[in-house]
Every structure is written in C-alpha cells, then in structure tokens.
Amino acid sequence: MFFPWNILFACVTATVSGPTAMVGQISDVEGEPTAGLVVESLEARGVTDSQGRFVVQYKAPEQLIHFTWQGLWFQRRYLPGDAGATVQLSLPQLEKAALRCACSQACTATLQWELGSGYTARSSVTCDPGEVCSVSRVVGVSATMEAKGMGLTAGSAGELLLSCPTQDAQEVE
C-alpha cells in the first residue's frame, strides 16, 4: 500500500554519520574548507559545499567513501565511533617525488599512506624502463609500497629508484 510519507522518508538526508551514510567535512592543509570535491561510495555521490561539507550514503559491508585530490586517491572507512558525528577529514601536505624505473620492463608502483582512523591515501604510477616519473606523496608519513617484484632505493640524483627483482613490500620515507 502506498502512503505519501514513504516519499518523504526516502528523501531525508542524513545529518550525522552512521551505518548507512557518512556526513563529513574536508579541510585543506591550512584548515580551510575544500569546496567542489566529488565524494563517492559504491551507491552514491556527493560534492563538498562551500564549507567542505558532504553527505554520502553507503551500504554494508562497503561502508566507505573516497575522493581524489591532487593526484592521490583518498579513502575513509566508517568506524563505530563515527556514529552520531560529523567526520572531519584533513588533507595532508603533499610534495612531488621523482620515481625512476631501473628495470628492463615497465615499472608500476602503488604507494599507500595510513593517515589514521580508517583514513588512507594512495598514489599509483607506471614508468617505462629508464624513465623518470613524477608521483605525489604525503609529507612526513611513511608509505607502504607495492611494486610487484621490484625493490625501492634512493637514487643518486635524489629520486626514488625502482629496481628488479625483489618480492617484498617496502616502507619508504
């Protein structure tokens, strides 16, 4: 049976975070709101307003939101402590780093930073042999790197050097 209030309930926007939606605010390195960022889940999409606020709905078990900023992909999972709150996300300071491929085949590397409380940043890059590529990285936070059988060292010109072969994920500063 159809009741008019069914439509009203379907249109209600969450005002605090919970198991079905994240309500948050994103600020930049200086603490200023970031307007216009597209924030998404598997089910929905939102855009931060002039105060950096957003509301995005999601469903279990994938209770997370993600967005891209300055070449990095950010993700924030819902945590039980988020219930009833507005989740505050601060964008970290970034810098460009050079990554050189010292292999005979193309190098693909993924760097990931744990920013705390279910909040991560990730950057991926593919470089041809001998090529120097630019990659964004988070300042002051060690990254975990996956490079599928490649090692990572500091090169003589100050760049990060991907070399072959090795099997382990490595920590980089």
Q: Token match 């193309």: residue?
A: 106
Residue 84 and residue 121 in one domain = no
Residue 85 and residue 110 in one domain = no
Region 2-12 average pLDDT: 43
pLDDT in tens, 47-61: 999 999 999 999 988
Q: Does 114 reside within a domain?
A: yes
Residue 110 and residue 60 in one domain = no
Return d(Cα 106, Cα 102) in angstroms, integer.
9
Last residue of a domain, one of 58, 90, 122: 90
Q: Does 2 reside within a domain?
A: no
Residue 78 and residue 26 in one domain = yes
Structural contact between residues 111 and 170, judged by C-beta atoms closer than 8 angstroms: no
Residue 81 and residue 98 in one domain = no
Question: Considering its fold, how many domains does the chain have in total?
Answer: 2
Which CATH number does the domain housing residue 138 bear?
2.60.40
Residue 75 and residue 125 in one domain = no
Region 20-45 average pLDDT: 96
Residue 83 and residue 114 in one domain = no
Last residue of a domain, one of 90, 117, 145: 90
Residue 99 and residue 168 in one domain = yes
The residue segments making up the domain with residue 41 are: 14-90
HEC profile for the chain?
CCCHHHHHHHCCCCCCCECCEEEEEEECCCCCECCCCEEECCCCEEECCCCCEEEEECCCCCCEEEEEECCEEEEEECCHHHCCCCEEEECCCEEEEEEEECCCCCEEEEEEEEEECCEEEEEEEEECCCCEEEEEEECCCCEEEECCCCEEEECCCCCEEEECCCCCCEEEC
Q: Does 1 reside within a domain?
A: no
- On average, the pLDDT of the chain sits at 83
pLDDT in tens, 59-106: 988 899 999 999 899 999 999 999 999 999 999 999 988 888 888 888
The answer, yes or no, to whether residue 131 has pLDDT greater than 70, is yes
Q: Does 26 reside within a domain?
A: yes
Residue 143 and residue 108 in one domain = yes
Whether the full predicted model's pTM is greater than 0.95, yes or no, is no
